[in-house]
Structure 1
C-alpha cells in the first residue's frame, strides 16, 4: 500500500484552508449585496444579485471537486510539489474570479484568468488522481 507523504497532505491543507476562506468571503459578499439590494430570496431579477450569486456558485462548482481530486492524488503518493502547483493555480484562479464577481465594474481579464487557472488546476488534479488510481490496479 502507498503511504501518503505528510508534505503532500500538508500542502493540500494549505489550499483547502485558503479556498475555504475565499468561499467564506464570497458568502459574506453575497449576503452584503442581498442586504443592500433588499433581495431576501433568490436573485429577485436583480442584475447585481445575479452576478454575485453566479460568482459564488461558480466557486462551489470548482473548489470542492478540485480539492477532492488533489486529496486522492496526495493519498496515493502524489508529491508535495504537484499538490502545491495545482493548489496555487486553483487558489490564484479562484481569487481572481471572485474579485471579478464581487465588483460591479471589474475588468474582464480577472474572470478569464481566474477561469483559465482554475481549469488548469482542475484538469491537472483530475489527471493526477486518475493516473494515481489506475496505477493501483496495474
Structure 2
C-alpha cells in the first residue's frame, strides 16, 4: 500500500535532510543559532530548505491520494517524478549565487504542474 508514494517520500525526505544540513553547517560556521544573522548565504540556504518543506508535503499528500484512488502506476510515478525533479531543480537553481533562473523556473513548473494535475485528477475522480 502506497509503495510508489513511499519511494518519492523517502527521496524527498533525503533531499530535505541534505538541505537542512547545509543550513546547520552554515549556522555553525557563522555562529548563528536562529535567523540569518545578516549572512546572505545562510538566509538563502534557509529559504531553499523552507521552500522544499513548503511544497513537498502537499505534493506527497496529493500523490498518496492519487495512488489510493487507484491511478495507474505509470501516472503515479510520473507525478512523483515531476515533484521530485521539480524540488531538486528548484533547490539547485535557487541555491546558487547567482541564481540559475532557468533551473529555478523549471523546478517551479514541474512542481506546479504536478500539483495542478494531481489536484484536478482527484477532483474529477471525486465528482465522477
**What's the TM-score, normalizing by structure 2?**
0.89
Deviations 1:15-72 (A, max 9, x none): 1111111111111111112122222111223211211111111111111001101111
Secondary structure, in 3 states, of the residue corresponding to 2:97?
coil
- Residue 64 of structure 2: aligned partner: 71
The residue correspondences of 1:111-130 to structure 2 (distance < 5 A) are 111-130=104-123
Are 2:57 and 1:100 aligned? no
Q: Which runs of 5+ in 1 are unaligned?
A: 1-5
RMSD of aligned alpha carbons: 1.6
Report how far residue 106 of structure 1 moved.
Answer: 4.5
Higher relative CO (CA 8 A, sep ≥ 6), structure 1 or 2?
1
Are 2:32 and 1:39 aligned? yes
Deviations 1:70-127 (A, max 9, x none): 1111111111111111100111111111223443345222211111111111111211
Which segments of structure 1 move beyond 3 Å, counting only runs of 4 or more? 101-106
State how far apart, in whole Å, the 1-side matches of 2:120 and 2:107 are.
Answer: 20
Aligned length: 128
Q: Which runs of 5+ in 2 are unaligned?
A: none
Secondary structure, in 3 states, of the residue corresponding to 2:32?
coil
State how far apart, in whole Å, the 1-side matches of 2:22 and 2:95 are.
Answer: 7
Are the counterparts in 2 of residues 66 and 126 from structure 1 also a CA contact under 8 Å? no
